[in-house]
Amino acid sequence: MVNEVLDAARGEALKALDRAAPYGPDIDVREYLGLRVREPAKLEIGRVEGVGIDLRRARRTAMYMQVDDRVVESLSRLSGVEVTTVEDFIGNYPDIARELLWRLIKPGQDKYTAIAALKGVGGYYVRVKRGVKVSEPIQTCLFMASEGLQAPHNLVILEEGAEATIVTGCTIMPEVFGLHAGITEFYVMEGAKLSYVMIHAWNRGTHVRPRSAALLEDRASMVMYYMNLSRVKTLQTYPKVILKGNGSKVYASSIVLGRGGSVVDVGTEAVMVGDAASELVSRFVVKDRSRAWARARVSGVRGRGHIECKGLILSSKAALYSVPELGGTGRDVMLTHEASIGRIAEEEIAYLVSKGFSREEAEELIVRGFMNVEVRGLTGRMESYVKNVVRLMSRAAM
Amino acid sequence: MLKLELKEVVVSVKGGTVVRHADLRVAEGEVLYIIGPNGSGKTSLLRAVLGYPGYEVVSGRVLFDGEDLTDKPMEYRVKRGLAITHQIPPKISGVKVGDLLAEILRRRGSTSEFKGITEMLRIEHLLNRDLNRNFSGGELKRVEIALTMAQSPKLALIDEPDSGVDVESLRFVARGVKEILNRSPFKSIVIVTHTGLIAKYIPPTKVCVMKEGVLKECRLPDFLKRALSEGFG
């Protein structure tokens, strides 16, 4: 039965291999269709740790690690938490798989979902059972060690009343070029709370097209942090959160740094079906010759939504475009947005220099402050971790 | 011994002369007040002494602790031990008061002073707030004084510590200014004021009047009261 679902997805995907995404530079994905013979994948621990994965801790709790197409580790020592490969999940739970896989994201959505459906291998399945509250983060890592395509299909299920934090680090070896097109579907059931932190550290030759979507039931809440630590050739992602349930909430925060010649197009969309609340926050910093698009969209028939997009341009050749969109139907929805793009104020630099900092230190302090969004929904260690990543990003921006 | 000396200083901002003539001498152990009406060039003079960008000394010399700083950038002057507390400091989003204070202290190797400073200036409730955002007049001054205290400068230039503050805040501000003075190895300080309220707590040793961009001759402390009641003429 599951094969039928996957075969149907592949059938749909075949028709979409040339379907460009509405946003971001268009990439020819057909070159990734051919069969590739890969060298045995190697894992560089330093790079994995650089995207927030604490392997020693993860091995004592719950984790998933994939290098290229090979699943290196997949385990859970936490009661009420399952972590396996998505292939094992399909084998173990064919009925659930048929119901949930490719439900929130359509394989024919664009050429990147299509290539993932046709050639993708691996991906994590995380399930936190009803009422289980996990204090330790569940850590997952997708690592590209050799050239080509990495397109895992991830599935996260938080059952009724469950609470968990998932950290996903995606990174690559410096000399390796390729396409990362991970698919992630989140199901956050009634009263469940999910915190999801995603850290990217790519290289200047990589194209990145993650496709994510979440479904939130009644009183479910989701907090999302996205941060990219290093340059990338092109990156385009626009996760969609469907707030189906009444009382459901999403807070999404993207902190994005454009460096070198990177082209970055990152946004979050919230669709409020129930009486819900959405808050989408972003901080973009661009330098060198990079170009970035900061997108956000909130639409709905009920509830409250707010978008806050702020950008800082640090070089005369960098460009930043902020595109907040609001769409409401009926009288029961209230949507607001604020957006700004600017540069570092000389007055602020001079002030900090008068307090004993060098100009470079002053700029770093201001950029760090700019990126310093409110950290919500994370426990002590994760909160410190997010702040530390912001510190690294502000240093990298200088 | 002279610690700060201004010799026939002329200051220009955006091409316009804002200080037409300033001669000033600050000796060791001196609490020097510069008084004068609003718009007389007091703040511009302090900023020019510190080498603030945009406040250009177009002629004259600025000597500090035996060194001619006239052509040195602000960063250098601050390293040499000059500091300023601003009358109207900028708001900086995301930069937390506590983080900034801790960082200034860390660089001096004096992190243990954090608690004492925050308690003395009553700014504990502001530590997690963005710098100067939505602060009251008193809070602005208290934070400024705290940051200057953390710098522990040889000579502080205190700009209008007593304007826009309530009586309660003024007491804490004055306590902080006194502490900055005590920490100064020169036991000297320069205070700019147009209200003179702070003199109740820190009496001047010398009072200089600035009017229409000219820093006039300095006088004995008892002149302060007369000037504030009868005018700066």
Is some CB atom of chain A closer than 8 A to the CB atom of B109? no
Domain residue ranges in chain A: 2-344, 345-398
pLDDT digits (tens, 9 = 90+) for B177-205: 999 999 999 999 999 998 889 999 999 99
Cβ separation A354–B74 shorter than 8 A:
yes
For residues A56-82, average pLDDT: 89
Is some CB atom of chain A closer than 8 A to the CB atom of B106? no
**A-side interface with B, Cβ within 8 Å?**
345-348, 350-356, 358-359, 365-366, 368-372
Measured in angstroms, the CA of B44 and the nearest CA of chain A are apart by: 14
Nearest 10 degrees: CA dihedral of A130, A135, A136, A138? 30
For residues A167-188, average pLDDT: 89
Local structure of residue A133 (DSSP, 8 states): B
ipTM confidence? 0.96
Q: Which residue has the higher pLDDT, A158 or A393?
A: A158
Is some CB atom of chain A closer than 8 A to the CB atom of B215? no
pLDDT at A397: 79
Is some CB atom of chain A closer than 8 A to the CB atom of B107? yes
Measured in angstroms, the CA of A344 and the nearest CA of chain B are apart by: 10
Is some CB atom of chain A closer than 8 A to the CB atom of B152? no
For residues A280-290, average pLDDT: 95
pLDDT at A35: 54
Please say whether the beta carbons of A195 and A377 come within 8 A: yes
pLDDT digits (tens, 9 = 90+) for B116-161: 999 999 999 999 999 999 999 999 999 999 999 999 999 999 999 9
Measured in angstroms, the CA of B52 and the nearest CA of chain A are apart by: 7
- With beta carbons under 8 A apart, name residues in chain B contacting A372: 94-96
pLDDT at A38: 63
Is residue A272 scored above 70 in pLDDT?
A: yes
Is residue A37 scored above 60 in pLDDT?
A: no
Cβ separation A353–B78 shorter than 8 A:
yes
- With beta carbons under 8 A apart, name residues in chain A contacting B52: 350, 354
Closest CB to A355 among B52, B53, B147: B147
pLDDT digits (tens, 9 = 90+) for A301-328: 999 999 999 999 999 999 999 999 999 9
Cβ separation B100–A355 shorter than 8 A:
yes
User: What whole-number distance in Å separates Cα of residue A130 and Cα of residue B10?
Assistant: 75
pLDDT at A54: 82
- With beta carbons under 8 A apart, name residues in chain B contacting A366: 92, 95
Least CA distance to A390: which residue of chain B? B94
Describe the crossing of helices A359-371 and A380-397 by its angle, rounded to 10 degrees.
130
Please say whether the beta carbons of B105 and B132 come within 8 A: no
CA B135, B139, B140, B143 dihedral sign is negative
- With beta carbons under 8 A apart, name residues in chain B contacting A368: 94-95
Grade residue A392 by pLDDT with cuts at 50, 70 and 90: confident
Measured in angstroms, the CA of B196 and the nearest CA of chain A are apart by: 25
Is some CB atom of chain A closer than 8 A to the CB atom of B15? no
CB neighbour class for A395 (10 Å; exposed up to 12, middle 13-18, buried from 19): exposed
Q: Which residue has the higher pLDDT, A41 or A50?
A: A50
User: What whole-number distance in Å separates Cα of residue B154 and Cα of residue B183?
Assistant: 8
Closest CB to A369 among B50, B53, B94: B94
User: What whole-number distance in Å separates Cα of residue B115 and Cα of residue B10?
Assistant: 41
Closest CB to B95 among A350, A353, A366: A366
Domain residue ranges in chain B: 2-230
Is some CB atom of chain A closer than 8 A to the CB atom of B66? no
Please say whether the beta carbons of A296 and A282 come within 8 A: yes
- With beta carbons under 8 A apart, name residues in chain A contacting B93: 369-370
User: What whole-number distance in Å separates Cα of residue A23 and Cα of residue A295?
Assistant: 10
pLDDT at A284: 95
Least CA distance to B97: which residue of chain A? A369
pLDDT at A2: 62
User: What whole-number distance in Å separates Cα of residue A91 and Cα of residue A359?
Assistant: 59
CATH number of B2-230: 3.40.50.300
Least CA distance to A357: which residue of chain B? B75
pLDDT at A396: 80
User: What whole-number distance in Å separates Cα of residue A59 and Cα of residue A45?
Assistant: 14
pLDDT at A194: 97
Beta pairing class for A62-67 and A178-180? unpaired
Cβ separation A348–B92 shorter than 8 A:
yes
Closest CB to B74 among A345, A353, A371: A353
For residues B100-128, average pLDDT: 95
- With beta carbons under 8 A apart, name residues in chain B contacting A351: 86, 89-90, 92
**CA dist list (Å): B178 to A28, A66, B183, B194:** 70, 62, 9, 19
User: What whole-number distance in Å separates Cα of residue A145 and Cα of residue A142?
Assistant: 10
Residue indicated by tokens 């200057």: B148
Between A18-32, A36-50, A293-307, B123-137, the lowest mean confidence (pLDDT) is in: A36-50
Least CA distance to B77: which residue of chain A? A354
Least CA distance to A387: which residue of chain B? B94
Measured in angstroms, the CA of A309 and the nearest CA of chain B are apart by: 14
Mean pLDDT for all residues in chain A:
91
Measured in angstroms, the CA of B232 and the nearest CA of chain A are apart by: 30
Cβ separation B94–A370 shorter than 8 A:
yes
DSSP SS3 for B202: coil
Is residue A39 scored above 70 in pLDDT?
A: no
- With beta carbons under 8 A apart, name residues in chain A contacting B77: none
What tokens were used for A322?
């902020």
pLDDT at A262: 94
